[in-house]
Structure 1
Amino acid sequence: MPAMPASPVVLILASGRGERFCASGGAVHKLQALLAGQPVLAHTLDAVRASGLAWHMEQAPHPGMGDSIAAAVRATRSAAGWLVLPADLPLVLPQTLRAVAQALQEGACSVVRPVFEDARGHPVGFGADCGEALAGLVGAQGAAAIVQAQHKAGRLKEIVVHDPGVVTDIDTLTDLARAEVLWLARRQGR
Structure 2
Amino acid sequence: MITPHSPVVLILAAGRSTRFIASGGTLNKLQTPLCGLTVLDHVIRAAQASGLPWHVVTKADGEGMGDSIAAGVRATPDAGGWLILPGDLPLISAMSLRSVAEGLGSALVVVPTWNGQKGHPVAFGAECFNELAQLSGERGAARIVEAHRANNQVLRVAVADRGTVLDVDTVDDLQYVQSLMGTDGQ
TM-score range, shorter chain: over 0.9
Distance 2:144 2:7 in 1: 17
* Matched positions, count: 182
Give the TM-score normalised by the residue count of structure 2.
Answer: 0.95
Compute the displacement of 1:184 (Å): 1.6
Give, as a single letter, the amino acid of the residue that structure 2 aligns with 1:24.
Answer: S
Deviation at 1:38, TM superposition (A): 1.4
1:32 matched to 2:31? The reply is yes
Percent of aligned pairs with the same residue? 50
TM-score of the aligned structures, taking structure 1 as reference length: 0.93
Shift of 1:187: 1.1
Q: Determine if the alignment matches structure 1 residue 139 to structure 2 residue 107.
A: no
Q: Which structure 2 residues correspond to residues 62-77 of structure 1 after superposition, within 5 A?
A: 62-77=62-77
1:116 aligns to 2:114 (yes or no) = yes
Instruction: Using the TM superposition, give the Cα deviation of residue 100 of structure 1 relative to its aligned residue in structure 2, in angstroms.
Output: 0.5
Aligned equivalents of 1:157, 1:7: Cα separation in 2: 18
Aligned-partner SS, 1:171: coil
Residue 22 of structure 1: aligned partner: 21
For the residue of structure 1 that corresponds to 2:21, the secondary structure is: helix
Query: Which residue, 149, 152, 169 being the options, matches 1:154?
Result: 152
What does 1:1-190 correspond to in 2, within 5 Å? 6-61=5-60, 62-104=62-104, 106=105, 108-187=106-185
CA distance in 2: counterparts of 1:171 and 1:89, whole angstroms: 10
Deviation at 1:37, TM superposition (A): 2.2
Q: Quote the RMSD (CA, aligned, Å).
A: 1.1
Distance 1:124 1:174 in 2: 25
Q: Distance in 2 between matches of 1:119 and 1:84?
A: 17
Q: 1:185, CA displacement in angstroms?
A: 2.1
- Give the distance between the partners of 2:119 and 2:36, measured in 1 at CA: 25
Q: What amino acid is aligned across from residue 78 of structure 1 in structure 2?
A: D
> Aligned-pair distance for 1:32?
1.1
Q: Which consecutive aligned stretches of 4+ in structure 1 deviate over 2 angstroms post-superposition?
A: none
Structure 2, unmatched stretches of 5+, are none
Gaps of 5+ in 1: none
1:3-28: per-residue Cα shift (whole Å, max 9, x none)?
Answer: xx722000000000000000000011
Question: Match of 2:19, SS?
Answer: helix
